[in-house]
């Protein structure tokens, strides 16, 4: 590639001055990996990783006037903070043999950028850019970026055997960049998918989240359903919703719709345990999935009853999913949204009567809550006024002497 102006225009001057300082001290330094790929495809990188021939101690000496953080000394990474922005600077590395499908047995530092690029996962992630030496693309990453292809560096099967997380990384990049997975890489990742069972739940779920949020997630999940069935066996055999509407769903909605279509809220709890979702995510997804079976019909009473079944964000999520599954109409969605904006009592605490009033009428224990719920439903459906006298009269009818 001859036109390097995108790099010159995009890379922040602070990142360039870090590279210049390392070079002035006699080392090599490049911007590497994600940011090089992103600039080539016209995206603005989130961060700028730097790779250098300098070892950690040497990097710290060059930047002794700056704040540095020992991010991963054993792996050769120091973070240097410039104007409040962290830059990860990592020594050129070669990975030793891999024995557990995730970690190299040893990591050694090298003076060769070629060796460092060889250990990287995909051709589009294995390029380096230097302001003085230009783009270093030894594996055809530039052409693959132009053709929107994810291709393993070297032998795909071996690369997935070394580190099975790369299987999900390939799908994640395919989904977030809207790239196709190259034929041999695709075959190898499907063939080696069982190795994913050796990868920690946290890492699997972190990749899965990014993948699901990707703009091409629908295509990637449909194309590689066997990998999804392995990491989410609750969803096997995987059934996908209609594609229309998928683009408007958030990562959480997408996760919920897959469970709504393929299983139930018990399965949500199983997957949440295994993949170590945080409690709040587990709670939101299981509530949303449970609501799919009680979505409202297109009338006022049904919409009002639905409003009592959860928090707004969960109700709206369930409606978006229900819409994609053709279980509710646009008119129902609008109706519920309109009711949400109205100042209607939605919680027992909004009633003009308290638990102590019900208790004074003779109700005990759980019965108090039951009566309050009945009153709330009456008020919400417009059958009762939210007025203390009216509520006390109605309550009496529900309390057995």
User: Which chain residues interact with ligand ATP by CB under 6 A?
Assistant: 33-34, 46, 49, 120-121, 125-126, 163, 165-166, 169
Size of the site for Mg ion (CB under 5 A): 1
- Whole-angstrom Cα distance, residue 174 to residue 190? 14
| Rounded least distance, CB 17 to Mg ion, Å | 20
Phi-psi label, residue 26: left if phi above 0, alpha if psi -120 to 50, beta otherwise: left
Residue with smaller CB distance to Mg ion, 93 or 304: 93
3-class state of residue 10 by DSSP: helix
Q: Which does 397 bind (CB under 5 to 8 A by kind): Mg ion, ligand ATP, none?
A: none
Q: How many CB atoms lie within 10 A of CB 265?
A: 17
Nearest distance in Å: CB 61, ligand ATP = 25
Q: What does the buried/exposed string (b/e) look like for 338-375 if buried means 16 or more CB atoms within 10 Å of the residue's CB?
A: ebeeeebebebeebbbeeebbeeeebeeeebeebbeeb
**Residue 242 class from Cβ within 10 Å (0-12 exposed, 13-18 middle, 19+ buried)?**
exposed
Three-state DSSP state, 69: strand
Question: Could you say which of ligand ATP, Mg ion, none residue 163 binds, taking C-beta under 5 to 8 angstroms by partner kind?
Answer: ligand ATP
Assign 38 to helix, strand or coil.
helix
* Beta strands 93-95 and 107-109, pairing class: antiparallel
In whole angstroms, the minimum distance from the beta carbon of 43 to ligand ATP comes to 9
Shortest reach from residue 104's CB to ligand ATP, in Å: 10
**String marking each residue 24-63 x if it binds Mg ion according to CB under 5 A:** ----------x-----------------------------
Select 46 or 74, whichever has its Cβ closest to ligand ATP. Answer: 46
Tell me: does residue 86 bind Mg ion (CB under 5 A).
no
**Min CB(124)–Mg ion separation in Å:** 13
Q: Which does 121 bind (CB under 5 to 8 A by kind): Mg ion, ligand ATP, none?
A: ligand ATP
Cβ proximity to Mg ion, 50 vs 164, nearer residue: 50
Q: Which is nearer to Mg ion, 211 or 260 (CB)?
A: 211
CA distance 177 to 215: 7
Please give the residue whose beta carbon sits closest to ligand ATP in the complex.
Answer: 34
Query: What is the binding site for Mg ion (CB under 5 A)?
Result: 34
């Amino acid at each position: 590639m001859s036109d390097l102006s995108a790099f010159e225009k995009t890379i922040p001057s602070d990142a360039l001055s870090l590279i210049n300082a390392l070079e002035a001290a006699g080392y090599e330094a490049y911007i590497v990996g994600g940011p090089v790929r992103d600039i080539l495809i016209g995206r603005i990188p989130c961060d700028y990783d730097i790779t250098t021939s300098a070892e950690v101690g040497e990097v710290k000496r060059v930047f002794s006037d700056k704040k540095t953080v020992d991010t991963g000394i054993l792996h050769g990474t120091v973070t240097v903070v410039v104007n409040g922005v962290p830059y990860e600077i990592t020594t050129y590395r070669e990975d030793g043999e891999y024995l557990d499908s995730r970690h190299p047995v040893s990591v050694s530092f090298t003076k060769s950028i070629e060796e460092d690029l060889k250990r990287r996962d995909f051709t589009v992630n294995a390029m380096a850019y230097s302001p003085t030496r230009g783009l270093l693309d030894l594996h055809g990453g530039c052409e693959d970026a132009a053709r929107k292809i994810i291709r393993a560096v070297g032998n795909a099967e071996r690369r997935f055997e070394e580190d099975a997380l790369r299987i999900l990384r390939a799908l994640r990049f395919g989904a977030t960049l809207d790239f196709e997975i190259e034929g041999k890489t695709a075959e190898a990742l499907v063939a080696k998918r069982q190795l994913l069972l050796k990868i920690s739940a946290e890492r699997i779920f972190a990749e899965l989240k990014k993948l699901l949020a990707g703009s091409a997630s629908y295509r990637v999940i449909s194309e590689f359903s066997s990998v999804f069935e392995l990491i989410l066996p609750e969803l096997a055999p995987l059934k996908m919703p209609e594609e229309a509407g998928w683009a408007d769903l958030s990562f959480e909605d997408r996760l919920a719709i897959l469970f709504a279509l393929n299983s139930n809220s018990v399965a949500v709890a199983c997957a949440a345990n295994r993949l170590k979702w945080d409690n709040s995510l587990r709670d939101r997804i299981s509530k949303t999935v449970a609501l799919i079976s009680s979505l409202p019909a297109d009338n006022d009473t049904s919409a009002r009853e639905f409003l009592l079944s959860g928090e707004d964000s969960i109700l709206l999520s369930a409606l978006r999913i229900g819409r994609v599954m053709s279980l509710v109409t646009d008119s129902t969605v609008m109706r519920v949204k309109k009711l949400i904006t109205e100042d209607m009592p939605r919680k027992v605490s909004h009633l003009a009567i308290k638990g102590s009033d019900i208790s004074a009428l003779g109700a005990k224990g759980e019965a108090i809550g039951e009566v309050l719920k009945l009153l709330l439903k009456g008020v919400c459906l417009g059958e009762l006024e939210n007025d203390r006298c009216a509520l006390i009269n109605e309550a009496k009818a529900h309390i057995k002497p």
